[in-house]
Amino acid sequence: MTAVRGVRAAVLTELARPAPYAESRPLEVRELDLDPPGPGELLVRLRATGLCHSDLSVINGSRPRPLPMVLGHEAAGQVVEVGPGGSDFAAGDHVVLSFVPACGSCRRCVAGRPALCEPGAVANRGGTLLSGTSRWLAPDGTRPHHHLGVSGFAEHAVVSAASAIRVDDDLPFEIAALFGCAVLTGAGAAFYSARVVPGESVAVFGLGGVGLAALLAARAAGAAAIVAVDVVEHKRALAVELGATHSVPGGPDAVEAVRELTGGGADKVIDTTGSEKVLAQAYAATTTGGTTVTVGLPHPDRQLVLPALSLVAEERTLRGSYLGSSVPRRDVPRFVDLYRAGRLPVDRLLSGRLTLDEVNTGFDQLASGDAIRQVVLL
Ligand SMILES: [Zn+2]
Ligand SMILES: [Zn+2]
């Protein structure tokens, strides 16, 4: 079994350093060692990792995680070595990594809801792999944490095999990476959480990588009207290119605009913003009998206030959706097939390519709304 020495990795050592990150440099590229993969684990040569708002939430302190941590959770790469005891992976396999390792045997996994895997959640909260350990080793003998079992901003990583999904060798890594978070979360939210069916009206609040993936999936599912809502004009323009039938500037007036465009509220509304205020708007923009889905992650202290009567009197549904309520091992191949068929053109989400040393600048671009999905090429 191979240990890897001197792996270049972007390490977060302190929460909530002030923006701009190009100056405060919350992520420091350091050389770490990696222990060999244990049983049920894989050593992966990472090749591409996307920058996601959930990374930003860790960096800015609104989603605290144990530190130091090798950040990044939307990644693709190639298996270098399989841990002792073997697995259904082999060296050379191309893999997408899911940010929830699914043990396969807890009550949530056996109920078909691997996004809610209980040991997976414990490992992710603790910053370890599913085995409860960290394979990272710093020169001072300490063990940096894994981010959501992935630690994608690094040249190599050890991951639980339960985090990996095999994909075809000819799928470019920079596209493959997007399936691990943006596409699973966004497309899953439209297909499985909102259950968009042909002819429905859909509104999407927040047009980052996840929101645009939701929009593409709503279109693929046959939505008749798709209203795209965001404060950033160029994101609304891209949404229209990708199939939105209308676009509306984000803000308090968006509710009335969506209601008007959809004849009294959209059948399905998907909020991806992570703001409880926008979630309340998304709910208000949903029609009687409709479903509001949220995939955003507000600060844990935030409360949501809604007109309680509407849930019953209007038969309304409000659904949370983690990892798009998807089953990664089933859905990554499904969504890749839809991509290949031209029905889910997720390559359009890719707005920039970075080196590992440019990762802080990349997060400035994401925070400012300039970027949709940037990937670090490794
Ligand atoms: Zn993400
Ligand atoms: Zn499980």
**In this structure, which ligand is nearest to the CA of 366?**
1
pLDDT, one tens digit per residue, over 150-170 is 999 999 999 999 999 999 999
- Lookup result for tokens 């603790």: 126
d(CA 103, CA 162): 6
> Is 251 contained in some domain?
yes
Pair 258, 230: CB distance under 8 Å = no
Q: Terminal CA-to-CA distance of the chain, rounded, Å?
A: 23
Phi, psi (rounded to 5 degrees) for 29 = -80, 115
Q: Is the distance from CB of 204 to CB of 321 less than 8 angstroms?
A: no
Q: Are 244 and 215 in contact (CB under 8 A)?
A: yes
Q: What letter does residue 268 receive in the DSSP assignment?
A: E
Residue 1 confidence (pLDDT): 80
In a domain, 120, yes or no: yes
Query: Which structural domain range is residue 349 located in?
Result: 4-181+326-377
Distances (CA, A) of 159 to 35, 36, 39, 47: 11, 10, 11, 14
Cα–Cα distances (Å) from 45 to 78, 119, 163, in that order, read 5, 25, 14
262 in a structural domain: yes
pLDDT at 9: 98
64/207 same-domain check: no
Q: Which of 297, 320, 343 is the last residue of a domain?
A: 320
Question: Phi/psi at 201 (nearest 5 deg)?
Answer: -100, 140
Q: How many domains does one find in the chain?
A: 2
Q: Indicate if 159 and 14 belong to the same structural domain.
A: yes
CA of 244 to the centre of ligand 2 (A): 36
Query: Residues 63, 203: one domain?
Result: no
> For the chain, what is the radius of gyration of the CA atoms?
20
Residues flanking ion ligand 2, Cβ below 5 Å: 103, 106, 109, 117
| 60 and 162 fall within a common domain | yes
**From the CA of 106, how far away is ligand 2's center (Å)?**
4
Taking residues 344-356, report their average pLDDT: 97
- Other Cβ atoms less than 10 A from the Cβ of 108: the count is 17
Chain centroid to CA 197: 23
Going from the Cα of 73 to the center of ligand 1, the distance in angstroms, rounded, reads 6
**What does the mean pLDDT of the chain come to?**
97
CATH number at residue 215: 3.40.50.720
Work out the percent of the chain whose per-residue pLDDT is above 90.
98
For residue 162, what is the domain's CATH number?
3.90.180.10
Closest listed ligand to the CA of 101? 2
Question: Residue 181 in contact with residue 205, Cβ under 8 Å?
Answer: no
Torsional sign, CA 252, 257, 263, 269: negative
pLDDT tens digits, one per residue of 55-78: 999 999 988 899 999 999 999 999
- Across the range 131-159, mean pLDDT stands at 98
| pLDDT for position 341 | 98
User: Do residue 158 and residue 269 come from a single domain?
Assistant: no
> pTM value?
0.97
What ligand has the least distance to the C-alpha of 210? Answer: 1
The enclosing H or E element of 9 equals strand 4-12
Amino acid at 140: D
Classified as helix, coil or strand, 14 is coil
What is the chain's percent helix, strand, coil content, to nearest 5?
A: 35, 25, 40
- How many angstroms separate the CA atoms of 164 and 11, rounded? 22
Q: Under a CB-based contact definition with an 8 Å cutoff, are residues 95 and 166 in contact?
A: yes
Domain-located, residue 189? no
pLDDT exceeds cutoff 90 at 86: no
Whether 173 and 239 share a structural domain:
no
Q: Which two tokens stand for residue 198?
A: 């042909």
Asked whether the predicted pLDDT for residue 2 surpasses 90, the reply is no
DSSP string, 220-282: HTT-SEEEEEES-HHHHHHHHHTT-SEEEESSTTHHHHHHHHTTSSEEEEEE-S--HHHHHHH
Output the CA 249–ligand 1 centroid distance in Å.
24
